[in-house]
Amino acid sequence: MLHIRDLANAIRALSMDAVQQAVSGHPGAPMGMADIASVLWREVMSYNPSNPRWVDRDRFVLSNGHASMLLYSVLHLSGYPLAMEEIKNFRQLGSRTAGHPEHDLNIGIETTTGPLGQGFATAVGMALAERLLAAEFNRAGHEIINHRTWVFLGDGCMMEGLSHEAASLAGTLGLGKLICVYDDNGISIDGEVKGWMADDTPKRFSAYGWQVIKDIDGHDAEAIQKALRRARANQTQPTLICARTVIGWGAPNKQGTKSTHGEALGADEIAATRAGLPWTYAPFVIPDEIRVAWDQRERGSRLEKAWKRRFNRYRKEFPTEAAEFTRRIQGDLPINWPNLRAAAFVAAAAVTSPQATRASSQVVLNAIGPGLSELLGGSADLTGSVNTFRKDSKAVTHDDAAGNYINYGVREFAMTAMMNGLALHGGFVPYAGTFLVFSDYARNAVRLAALMHQRVLLVYTHDSIGLGEDGPTHQPIEHLASLRAMPNLNLWRPCDAMETVVAWLAGIENTATPTALVFTRQALVQQSRSESQQAAIACGGYTLIEAPEHIKGEVPEAIVIATGSEVGPSAEAVRAVNAAGHRVRLVSMPSTEVFDAQDLRWRDSVLPAVVTRRLAVEAAASQSWWKYVGLQGRVLGIDRFGASGKAAELFKDYGLTATQIQTALESMLQN
């Protein structure tokens, strides 16, 4: 008769064999957590390997992503469409079994992990999504949303500050369906962690408001099962299960040591491990009786069918809510989206006086927010400054989940990782704001949003020295260039209300790319446009001012390219130079990524290759502009840190006033 240990040993065998074949990887954590994984995936979690996208499935996040072979083994054994050939090709180019899990819902991988702590924080966002959807759509006797989020995490996740941020907010909000299992093996890459991690972890999480179940033997199936069931029973607090495990359990000469953490065991140690477990099968061979005992497809199909029956009853009684729920989960925009778009343009057109683009952003949110229920807002303790609270916003609290706004507190990193979790879960288009300079705190979560192709809207305000007296610590310089360097991230820096509305709509409609919306603190002049120019904003870069009518049609003598707050003074300079008889074009380029994605015909129509006199103007690092101006061009930017002072004085000191731009342009025209 099979024992649970035999099933866990299948994980151990696949993990050590795959790492050995790849000569790369981390066998220790998979071998140490195999017993816990066997109980969780076979006896506790609700999921269907035959349909990894079942909406009410439990979510599982392997936050200690270096233990990827644990997840790959479990997915393969439980019946997900992850073939043994993929296990054999662990860490090889083109394989679906990467060194750290990458988001691939078709085979059951909910999120990309690897940067420690991010899986944990992303899971907090998933648990928050479950709670919000349940509050919005569940009705008495009709629970169509009722699932849990499970997390495995290790010492590295606990040491990263991100986990502290996210754990604090999870406890504050009372996310009772979040259950984390801490692999307390006491070992990291450098050895025994007690030399650099002396925390009392249970007390820390208790202080966060969590239920803590401590001193669980991670190799005792009965103790594990009791702990998991106790965690499920408490729906008012998130739970941390502190499980004592032995890293590399089963490897007789290496278990409990740092050598099992990130190195293949070696042929001799694997042979000794096989003998000791015992596991008498050849590498990558799973006997039929163990494969049958692991297969969860039949159980998963029963669970999903039961849910479908519940949902069908719900749909009959609440057809409107059911249709809205289905639309939200599918990620489709509402049928009245064209009307919301039109309303946003009307609202933007009504702005005629100078206005900060952060305020223009709020105008757009007020126009579309009430009709877009999935638009979930928030801020990192800067709501009044970043203008993310719209007229229909209501804050979510511990006692009231019927809201659409998250006060993330001063937690930029956790905020962004949680937005990733909200987007991955489904049902929400999350946006939240902070100052652009603080995007540094969140950068790695922004990177994962881009890597996972998630529709996450990053609102960044106070975008330059124009924020004024707060000085160089708050004035972003290199941040625009840094974010533009990130693959699969669209950044918009609009110059007025009309460009702001286009930026927002582009971000909402783009389902495969996170979007950074970068706004000013200071008021900007509204630019005049024709209908064709207004339509051209969506191309990322377009001609805002053309040479005078009597010489229109001739090739411009020079082109000025500007973004955001620098479009206004550049327009003044271009008009002055053209009034003196020159032919200068002003290009507004709110999104270089979107412009670069246009076809060559459009790009050359805006920036003709024959025009080599080019001047780019942006109150930020010059680095990202040389590709547009070329060797004969010039960039008016800022390649030193800011200073404390009035915005107008700063722009003059840094050479970015209309007069100074005109002088630079005239100098270029003389050469």
> What CATH number corresponds to the domain at position 589?
3.40.50.920
Residue 341 lies in a domain: yes
Q: Are 291 and 416 in a shared domain? A: no
Using a 10 angstrom Cβ sphere, with 0-12 exposed, 13-18 middle and 19 or more buried, the burial of residue 460 is buried
pLDDT value at residue 550: 59
CA–CA dist 44, 281 (Å, integer): 28
pLDDT value at residue 671: 83
pLDDT value at residue 586: 98
CATH number at residue 294: 3.40.50.970
Q: Are 224 and 296 in a shared domain? A: yes
Residue 319 lies in a domain: no
Q: Are 290 and 390 in a shared domain? A: no
Q: Phi then psi for 330, rounded to 5 degrees?
A: -75, -15
Residue 56 in contact with residue 145, Cβ under 8 Å?
Answer: yes
Residue 317 lies in a domain: no
Looking at 493, 524, 555, which one is the last position of a domain? 524
Looking at 300, 323, 348, which one is the last position of a domain? 300
Q: Are 515 and 565 in a shared domain? A: no
Q: Are 593 and 664 in a shared domain? A: yes
Q: Are 409 and 482 in a shared domain? A: yes
Residue 324 lies in a domain: no
Looking at 466, 497, 524, which one is the last position of a domain? 524
pLDDT value at residue 551: 65
CA–CA dist 110, 373 (Å, integer): 24
Residues 6 or more apart from 333 whose CB is under 8 A from it?
Answer: 372, 508, 509
Beta-bridge mates of residue 590: none
CA–CA dist 234, 518 (Å, integer): 41
Active site residues: 412
CA–CA dist 581, 558 (Å, integer): 13
Residue 54 in contact with residue 304, Cβ under 8 Å?
Answer: yes
Provide long-range contacts, Cβ within 8 A and 24+ apart, for 548-553.
548/578, 548/583, 551/583
Q: Which H/E stretch holds residue 515?
A: strand 515-518
Q: Are 501 and 611 in a shared domain? A: no
Q: At 609, list the tokens.
A: 């290759």
Q: What single letter denotes the amino acid at residue 2?
A: L
Confirm whether pTM is higher than 0.85.
yes
Helix axes 161-173, 118-137, angle to 10 degrees: 20
Q: Are 562 and 449 in a shared domain? A: no
Residues 6 or more apart from 324 whose CB is under 8 A from it?
Answer: 137, 373
Burial annotation 20-51 (CB, 10 A radius, 16+ → b, else e): bbbeebbbbbbbbbbbbbbbbbbebbbbbbee
CA–CA dist 201, 143 (Å, integer): 34
Number of domains in the chain: 3
Provide long-range contacts, Cβ within 8 A and 24+ apart, for 569-575.
569/617, 569/651, 569/656, 569/657, 569/658, 569/661, 570/617, 570/658, 570/661, 571/527, 571/544, 571/545, 572/658, 572/661, 572/662, 573/658, 573/659, 573/661, 573/662, 573/665, 574/545, 574/665, 575/545
Residue 104 lies in a domain: yes
Q: Among candidates 497, 470, 175, which has minimal Cα distance to 354?
A: 497
Q: Are 137 and 173 in a shared domain? A: yes
The HSE-up count of residue 528 (CA atoms within 13 Å, CB side) is 3
Q: Provide the 10 A C-beta neighbour count for residue 643.
A: 14
Q: Are 35 and 120 in a shared domain? A: yes
| Residue 487 domain boundaries | 337-524
pLDDT value at residue 83: 98
Q: Are 293 and 423 in a shared domain? A: no
**Averages of pLDDT over each 10 residues, the chain, 671 residues:** 92 98 98 98 98 98 98 98 98 98 98 98 99 98 98 98 98 98 96 96 98 98 98 97 98 97 97 97 98 98 98 98 98 98 98 98 98 98 98 98 98 98 98 98 98 98 98 98 98 98 98 98 98 98 87 85 98 97 97 98 97 98 97 97 97 98 97 83
> How close are the terminal C-alpha atoms of the chain, in Å?
89
Q: Are 503 and 474 in a shared domain? A: yes
Residue 489 in contact with residue 518, Cβ under 8 Å?
Answer: no
Residue 315 lies in a domain: no
CA distances from 338 to 133, 304, 361, 429, 529 (A): 25, 35, 19, 17, 22
Helix axes 221-233, 28-39, angle to 10 degrees: 60
Residue 198 lies in a domain: yes
Residue 532 lies in a domain: no
